[in-house]
Chains A and B, each alone.
Chain A
Amino acid sequence: MTKKQSIGIIITSHVEELARGVYLLLKESAPDVSITYAGGTDDGDIGSSFDKIQAAVEENDCDELFAFYDLGSAKMTLEVVQDTSEKKIHLMDTALIEGSYTTAALLQGNYKLADIKNQLTPLVIK
């Protein structure tokens, strides 16, 4: 994948299919944004995996990322990854689908970080 945008997106969910579903949705409107995802535990059960989330962060082409999650433990696991990763991660407390979709569309449209964060403010629900 060629890196066209300097900021990427990571999607985390308790369910692998949910994370992948959101990824597919975003990818359609933002083909030039690097989007990676992590869902479920290492065993494929419902939950969060530090290793999977860390891998999704590292596999992303970008060194700066917007991160979206569904529920509490995915957020806390993301925070641990945030503490240990070299990458700059903007953890967003927005509704998962609306927030990530808006971000993907805006990144694709070359909007700047501050503008995107402003647009996301009304979508913060957590």
Chain B
Amino acid sequence: MLTTENTVNWLTSFGEKVIENKAYLSELDSLIGDGDHGSNMARGVQAMLEKFQSTEFKEPNDVFKTTAMALLSKIGGASGPLYGSAFMEMAKQSETGDISVIISAGLDGIKKRGRAEPGEKTMIDVWVPVCEALQENQLTKQVIDEAVQATKPMKATKGRASYVGDRSIGEIDPGAMSSAYLFEALLEGDILND
């Protein structure tokens, strides 16, 4: 069950994973993009963590909204409006308390903003299988890992990576990787455990 406390814990853990793996995310991005995904994401989650420190939240809705605004304002790259839109849509569904409904709303937000479809080597190639697994109550680390690895053979047709064409084949998509941290943090928290 989603509570204010476990939502904050979940997203805090997401933020810590991003900061921990900042160099790795930028390295992935330098292979197929402009190499700033790690530092951009780290700047965004840092702003989010600072907000968490200074804010008393009443309900999960406030946590998602604050996260949306921090990521939207501070990331500075395309991930800003994408993650920002995801969390804004998640906030709207937070009252349901149903994590699969909430993540699915987030996915719709990303799709709307980025106009991406599955198979285009983007973050949604992780969000889609995660949503499907959540609906069956079967999200595991393996589902997330396989989704990330599955972006390797894909050729990017959206976003900056599409500029390098065939050269994008064979590398993990950085946005897929940062999304994986979000869902690993979800898995490790106590939201799914009852």
Contacts and interface: CB of A to CB of B under 8 A. Distances in A.
Interface of A: 41-43, 45, 47-51, 72-73, 76-77, 79-80
B72 interface: yes
Contact of B76 (A48, A72, A80): A48
A47 B85 contact: no
A101 to B, nearest CB: 25
A50 B114 CA distance: 16
B123 to A, nearest CB: 13
B113 interface: yes
B77 interface: yes
B160 A47 contact: no
Nearest to B78: A73
Interface of B is mostly: helix
B40 interface: yes
Given A47-B40, A48-B80, A76 B73 contact: no
List the 6 closest pairs (A to B, CB-CB), nearest first.
A47-B76, A76-B81, A73-B78, A41-B76, A50-B72, A50-B73
A60 to B, nearest CB: 20
Most buried by A among B75, B77, B78, B81: B81
Contacts of A47: 36, 40, 75-77, 80
Given A76-B82, A79-B113, A48 B73 contact: no
B159 interface: yes
Interface of B: 36, 40, 72-82, 84-85, 113-114, 159-160
22 contacts: A42-B74, A42-B76, A43-B76, A45-B76, A47-B75, A47-B76, A48-B76, A48-B81, A49-B76, A50-B80, A51-B73, A72-B159, A73-B76, A73-B79, A73-B80, A73-B81, A76-B81, A76-B82, A77-B80, A77-B81, A79-B81, A79-B113
Nearest to B36: A47
Nearest to B85: A80
A73 B77 contact: yes
Given A47-B36, A48-B76, A72-B78, 7 more contacts: A42-B76, A50-B80, A51-B73, A73-B76, A76-B78, A77-B72, A77-B81
A45 B74 CA distance: 11
Contacts of B36: 47
Nearest to B114: A76
Contacts of B113: 76, 79-80
A13 to B, nearest CB: 13
A76 B74 CA distance: 14
Contacts of A41: 76
